[in-house]
Amino acid sequence: MSRQSKTMRLCLLLLFFVAACSSMSDLSHETYKKGFLKIDPLGKEETAVLQMTGDNSVDLYLPKAREMFNMLLQETLPRVRPLSFVPGADPSFALPSTKKVLEESDFVHLKKATSIRFLLQTNLQQVEVVEGATQVRIEGRLWDIEQGDILWEGVGESRGHLFLFFPTAPASFEKAMEVASRGLIRKLPMRQK
């Protein structure tokens, strides 16, 4: 094989790998924050996270989404733990998938059951292919259990696809979920290690 044909094959191989890349956009953003959170009171307190919820349109993806989000959350913020791992917490406590806002009875139950002051509630809102790209959206709310008030709200959102020459193919759910989860976690008003 001549040197020129080897160079040509190498160039074609390189072109294939460059063309088969993925493009993933992190569209995460904060939607609400109470003013006093600027001083980061959460750095010293443990926070619990409720099991991620979602409506019927995302049921297929919910188990994997919960697993991935909790794993990434533990890697980034070890003081934030699933409610089932909090000493004294009732492991059966969960919100119905359609319940988006906690009620006073939920706060009373949580105050009695745990010493946790802050609670992170997440909801998988969207998993779909839009214009050839996989889009995942997670909503997060940080609650002050003692006050019964929302302290922070944000959205972890990603959109992406693979470039496989023409046409493009949607990115995998796992990749889109990872980007959306990391985006939401990065926006949380907590000191990160």
Domains contained in the chain, CATH given: 23-187 (3.40.50)
pLDDT at position 85: 66
pLDDT at position 58: 93
Which pLDDT tens digit goes with each residue over 58-104? Answer: 999 999 999 999 999 989 888 787 776 666 666 556 555 455 667 77
pLDDT tens series, the chain, 193 aa? 677 777 766 655 554 544 455 678 899 999 888 765 544 545 667 788 888 989 889 999 999 999 999 999 989 888 787 776 666 666 556 555 455 667 777 777 777 777 778 888 899 999 999 888 899 999 999 988 888 888 899 999 999 987 655 557 888 999 999 999 999 999 988 754 4
If you ran DSSP here, which 8-state letter would residue 101 be given? Answer: S
Residue (of 115, 102, 92, 83) closest to 149 by Cα position: 102
- Cβ contacts of 69-73, under 8 Å, gap ≥ 24: 69/122, 69/138, 69/177, 69/181, 69/184, 72/178, 72/181, 72/182, 72/185, 73/49, 73/181, 73/185
